[in-house]
A and B are shown apart, each in its own frame.
Chain A
Amino acid sequence: MTTIKTIKILALAVLFIGFASCSSDDDASTPKKEVESQSITNLKAVQSADYTTNPPTITGDFIKFSFDKGATTTGDDWDIAFRGSTIIVNGGEATTTDQPVRTAIAAAYIASGTLTSVTSVDPSLLVSDSASNGLAIPAVSGQGWYSYNPTTHIIAPIAGKIIVVKTHDGRYAKLEILSYYENGEANEDMSNSQFYTFNFVYQPNEGVTTF
């Protein structure tokens, strides 16, 4: 008896899913693209600091990244950019003069969860970088993506923090930073820092807020 019940429920479920997917297919004007998942390892984003000035002068290029390309970019099609432990988005205003000019509408927020458990975007939480309110992803230990340990001086990505990004052209991506050190672990003098390893999921379909 239970087997028959299960089959009935399964059949019903399949029917519903069929209807649901049909309706969305009907609405889509273009064929739906696959959601892309990718890993980026050891993305080098090195800065140097001159402590003889007060405040210290930080120099180094922001490494621009495009989720659509799944790679770094030098053009205005960047979504986020890395330098040291700072991550900026291509939207809003620069917070310091040495940052690249924002050219698009990118925004971000930090969600709690795992890369798989964050399944949709809450557009109300998205913010761009702002000269008055600071960066969308705060470059502050414990408040953004990392925590700094004053004893060991290690910068570690906070477990369970997923950065949700609105890309430069209004699509969505989510990423989990796994490491700030080349090949995953800090060496003795931490000279292999400022290398990002992260997993991301990119939703290439415009206006779709789920992954």
Chain B
Amino acid sequence: MGLNKNNIAIFFLTFFTALGFSQEIPTPQDTTKVEHLEEVIISATRTHRQLSSLPLPAHLVSKKEIQRVNSLRLGDILNEQTGLITVPDFGGGEGIQLQGLDSQYTLILIDGVPLIGRSAGTLDVSRITVGNIKQIEIVKGASSSLYGSEALGGVINIITEHPKYGFNGNIYSRIGTFETYDTGANIGYKKNKLAVNAFLNNFRSDGYDLNESDITNTVEAYKSYTLNTKLDYDFTENTSLFVSGRYYTQQQDYVASEELKGESEIDEWNTHLKLSHTYSDKWSSYFEFYATRYKADEFLNNPDASRFSESDFNQLLVRPEIRGIYNPSKKSAFIGGLGWNVETLTRTDFAASPKFNTPYAYLQYDYNPTDKLNVILGARFDSHSEYDSQFSPKAALRYKLSEKLAVKGSVGYGFKAPDFRQLYFDFSNATVGYTILGYNAVITKLPEMQAEGQIANVLVPLTDFENDLNPENSIGINIGADYNPLSSLKLNLNVFRNNIDDLIDTRVIANKTNGQNVFTYYNVHEVYTQGLEINAHYKVSNQLKLSAGYQLLYAKDKAAEKAFDNGEIYARKTPSSSAFQLGKSDYFGLYNRSRHMGNIKVFYDLPQWDLDANIRGTYRSKYGLYDTNGNDYLDTYDDFVDGYAIWDFAINKTILQNYRLGFGIDNLFGFTDTQNISNIAGRIIYGKLNIHF
């Protein structure tokens, strides 16, 4: 446990000196505070829409909130939102679970274009710094009608900051427990037709170790840099250009054992170009070009510095897209787009260097027949070179019953394309001897293995692999209500159900002569997630704001539910006692899903002291990580990870207008579960300084 006591002490000192200091010299204060700005969301419809009138369940996280809680990485702030939780992956990354769906079913965008690099399905949200984020938009429910693959559970769009008029910027640094340093600078310039912006962030940490008895650390030391530059140029009032370049690099120690040590490195870049033109009040169009590469390499060396193993992953996505918006009247808007995804991947243990080609088209109609009613209809068609083409429709409706109450509902189709691994993997474990083949690799690789005499018998005939693997697909239904009984109180309710078919899992297709098996990916499971979400925001006074959120979740496999229902499942009370039969009510559901999740936040402002403070608590109820009683299902007799709550506290103080000092404790009570939860490090004490100019 590396705690930088000196740095913390310095921060403490500065912070409290500043407190005293500011009491003596009164700082000028804003006389008027405009609090009620209408929040605008762009991810839900790909047009600018008022959040409050949207027929879809959506949520915004503002820059203000991110700054007040002093978040570092995207995962930190997402974890505090209702119904979202980051779940650690085998590789050390953290993926986001949304409405009970795994990380691979939520599309993550930066300024409207997707991030790639899901080496094992998870997109690691700790890759993204929050230092230059203006707003995070979270849209729940299947959204493939606009975004295509991966938008099965929802979409998270990160909107980065644009410069204000003149020359301005900020530099900041946060120092905390585990030798964690987060330092960044943001410089912007805007005048007349031109706006430029550069952002640099350096994040490094010594990592942490929850289990001291072994040689490896739970999270090894790492460092990363993010560089993001942007340019906006208005050729005329009606024509403008946006260019953005982002580069991310991360190095982390890679320790497998006492002898085997190495390093893993991630390099990622994104280039985004957008040309917008407005023809008239009714017509506007966008041309967008996006390219991104994600490269991950790792190696392990023997003690004599010779190479033990290395692996690489190199993915490229190129996407041109044109989009048009047509507003025949104030009451209706059409948006349509045509685009083409080209994706390639080279990777260790791959049968080929595959290439995906996906032309696509989408159209959406947003209509307000009356002041009270809003209807959105949309659909998208993705034609894919490697699997079945997908048609993804969506319909949403909102009706304002009164000024205080509105009801809304949406139904949409979502899909997730089989990834490269599921199609082209060709991997044989060197020590144990099993083989995993991608679905498309089976037809060539299995006969090869047979010819080499590796196969004892084939359990699934090759003819089963003549049809394409189906994308995992879902129908998502969301029904909710917005109720504002007082101007200071907002209540939102959303009931959801996601029906997911053709979920891909591995299964054995052949036995090998070495007694091991050949596995492949296959459409097998049908699962559902359903539940409800409640959010409440209460502005007690201009100084005090309270919010609370709750999600109830049932995430179950349909076949498992049936098996329990039919009495086919048995369990043991202790690992070696006789089995007994289980009933319907004994099935708990999918792994790593908590039935209850909740959060509560208190934000307090002391304008006379230029001070703000907040306390936030998040809770998740018990969940199972794997079957512990030998029936392959999670039932009520299994061992569960106990439910837990985490409390965070932060206080910030502005001095001399441009200096902002922050101090806080994340995970106030130092909760850890060394056995089961690898992404909760323990208590983190930090100090932060932000200088604005």
Contacts and interface: CB of A to CB of B under 8 A. Distances in A.
Contacts of B454: 55
Contacts of B511: 134, 140
Interface string B367-386: 00000000000000000000
Interface residues of A, number: 37
Nearest to A162: B579
Interface string A155-171: 01111110000000000
Interface stretch (B186-194, B271-279, B565-573): B565-573
B433 interface: yes
A139 B570 contact: no
B405 interface: no
Contacts of A184: 574-576
B576 A159 contact: no
Given A55-B454, A114-B578, A134-B457, A156 B630 contact: yes
B514 A55 contact: yes
A179 B578 CA distance: 10
B514 A178 contact: no
B456 A134 contact: yes
A143 B508 CA distance: 10
Interface string A109-127: 0001111010000000000
Contacts of B580: 114
A161 B570 CA distance: 8
B431 interface: yes
What is the interface residue range for chain B against chain A? Answer: 20 to 34
A163 to B, nearest CB: 13
Interface string B304-321: 000000000000000000
Contact of A158 (B508, B512, B575, B630): B630
A160 B576 contact: no
Contacts of B594: none
Interface string A47-71: 0000100111010000000000000
Q: Which of B508, B517, B576, B627 has the most CB of A within 10 A?
A: B576
A197 interface: yes
Q: Which of A58, A113, A178 has the most CB of B within 10 A?
A: A178
A199 interface: yes
B609 interface: no
B581 interface: yes
Given A179-B575, A185-B575, A114 B570 contact: yes
Contact of B570 (A55, A86, A95, A159): A159
B319 to A, nearest CB: 36
Interface in B419-435: 430-431, 433
Interface string A132-159: 1110000110110001010110001111
Interface of chain B, main secondary structure: loop
B515 interface: yes
B629 A160 contact: no
A190 B512 CA distance: 25
B431 A139 contact: no
B65 interface: no
B631 A158 contact: yes
Nearest to A130: B457
Contacts of A142: 632
Interface in A69-114: 86, 95-96, 112-114
Nearest to A157: B630
Nearest to B453: A55
B568 A151 contact: no
B569 A56 contact: no
Nearest to A151: B626
A55 to B, nearest CB: 3
B488 interface: no
B626 A159 contact: no
Contacts of B581: 113-114, 117, 160
Contacts of A133: 457
Contact of A152 (B572, B576, B626, B629): B626
A69 B629 CA distance: 31
B631 A140 contact: no
Contacts of A152: 626
A129 interface: no
Given A159-B570, A160-B570, A176 B576 contact: no
Contact of B515 (A58, A143, A151): A58
A140 B629 contact: no
Contacts of A197: 576
Nearest to A86: B515
A95 B569 contact: no
Nearest to B507: A142
Given A133-B457, A140-B511, A147-B630, A160 B579 contact: yes
Contact of A140 (B517, B572, B579, B632): B517
Contacts of A176: 578-579
Interface string B451-492: 000101100000000000000000000000000000000000
Contacts of B29: none
Nearest to A156: B630
Contacts of B570: 112-114, 159-161
B433 A178 contact: no
A160 B514 contact: no
Given A51-B431, A55-B454, A143-B508, A156 B575 contact: yes
A27 B629 CA distance: 45
Contacts of B431: 51
B577 interface: yes
B93 to A, nearest CB: 16
B513 interface: yes
Contacts of B572: 159, 178
A112 B626 contact: no
A55 B513 contact: yes
A54 to B, nearest CB: 8
Contacts of B514: 54-56
A178 B579 CA distance: 8
Given A147-B632, A158-B631, A55 B575 contact: no
Contact of B571 (A113, A139, A159): A159
Nearest to B633: A159
Contacts of B575: 156, 179, 184-185
B459 to A, nearest CB: 9
A113 B574 CA distance: 17
B576 A185 contact: yes
Interface of B: 430-431, 433, 454, 456-457, 508, 511-517, 568-572, 574-581, 625-627, 629-632
Interface of A: 51, 54-56, 58, 86, 95-96, 112-115, 117, 132-134, 139-140, 142-143, 147, 149, 151-152, 156-161, 176, 178-179, 184-185, 197, 199
4 smallest beta-carbon distances between A and B, as pairs: A160-B570, A55-B514, A184-B576, A156-B630
Given A114-B580, A156-B629, A184-B574, 15 more contacts: A51-B433, A54-B514, A55-B433, A55-B515, A112-B568, A115-B578, A134-B511, A140-B511, A147-B632, A149-B626, A158-B632, A159-B631, A160-B579, A179-B575, A185-B576
11 contacts: A54-B433, A55-B515, A114-B579, A134-B457, A152-B626, A157-B630, A159-B631, A160-B568, A160-B571, A160-B631, A161-B570
